[in-house]
């Protein structure tokens, strides 16, 4: 989904603010290759690897994995600075990663635990009914996140170093 001009400008501004305010130890970095540059919009392909990829026993383990991801970066004058195929480092504030983990994992886990305790202990619901309602609650939670993705995109800005 393409961002509007106002959203792109806000992402550029947030990226610049974070770049100047985030210290070396407070950022997440990934090496990537620029896939496309269109105006101020840069699409960077990164390979996200599991932490166990540095383990010597990874060939014996089935849990090592890697995934390709596309990161959208908005930077003023990007068309002049970058071209497709360039190797770059994409950065994000560590606080953005923590917020993403809270939204994607911690809050849903909390909802699951609270709902299951309330429904089974206090409301005396059957397990099947509790899980069915829990599925609906989680669906609503993730749907609300999806509907607010534009607002969240304003808080999650990346930059290239």
Name which of 1, 5, 117, 11 is nearest 70 in CA terms.
Answer: 1
Q: What is the pLDDT of residues 91-118, one digit of tens each?
A: 888 788 888 889 999 999 999 999 999 9
pLDDT at residue 103 in the model: 93
8-state DSSP, 122: I
Residue 14 vs residue 40, higher pLDDT: 40
Please indicate whether residue 30 or residue 94 has the higher confidence score (pLDDT): 30
Q: What pLDDT is recorded for position 12?
A: 52
Whether the predicted model's global pTM rises above the 0.75 cut: no
pLDDT value, residue 61: 58
105: which DSSP letter?
Answer: I
Task: Phi first, then psi: give them for residue 69, nearest 5 degrees.
Answer: -135, 150
Query: Which of the two residues, 64 and 132, has the higher pLDDT score?
Result: 132
Q: Residue 69: what pLDDT?
A: 84
For residue 28, the tally of other CB atoms under 10 A from its CB is 15
Residue 5 pLDDT more than 60?
no
* Order of strands across the sheet that contains 66-74: 66-74, 41-49, 27-38, 87-93, 159-160
Quote the pLDDT of residue 76.
Answer: 83
Residue 38 has pLDDT above 80, yes or no: yes
Residue 121 banded pLDDT, cuts 50, 70, 90: very high
Residue 154 in contact with residue 11, Cβ under 8 Å?
yes
Q: How far apart are CA 139 and CA 148, in angstroms?
A: 14
Q: What is the pLDDT of residues 41-59, one digit of tens each?
A: 889 998 766 655 556 555 5
pLDDT for 136 equals 98
Per-residue pLDDT band for 151 (boundaries 50, 70, 90) equals confident
């Amino acid at each position: 989904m393409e961002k509007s001009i106002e959203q792109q400008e806000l992402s550029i501004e947030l990226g610049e603010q974070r770049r100047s305010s985030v210290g070396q130890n407070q950022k997440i970095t990934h090496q990537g290759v620029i896939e496309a540059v269109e105006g101020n919009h840069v699409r960077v392909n990164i390979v996200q690897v599991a932490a166990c990829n540095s383990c010597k026993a990874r060939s014996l383990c089935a849990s090592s994995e890697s995934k390709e991801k596309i990161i959208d970066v908005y930077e003023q004058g990007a068309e002049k600075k970058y071209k497709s195929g360039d190797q770059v480092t994409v950065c994000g504030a560590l606080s953005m990663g923590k917020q993403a983990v809270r939204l994607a994992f911690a809050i849903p886990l909390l909802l699951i635990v609270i709902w299951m305790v309330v429904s089974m202990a206090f409301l005396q619901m059957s397990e099947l009914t509790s899980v069915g309602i829990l599925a609906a609650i989680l669906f609503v939670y993730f749907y609300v996140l999806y509907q607010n993705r534009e607002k969240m995109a304003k808080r999650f800005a990346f930059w290239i170093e």
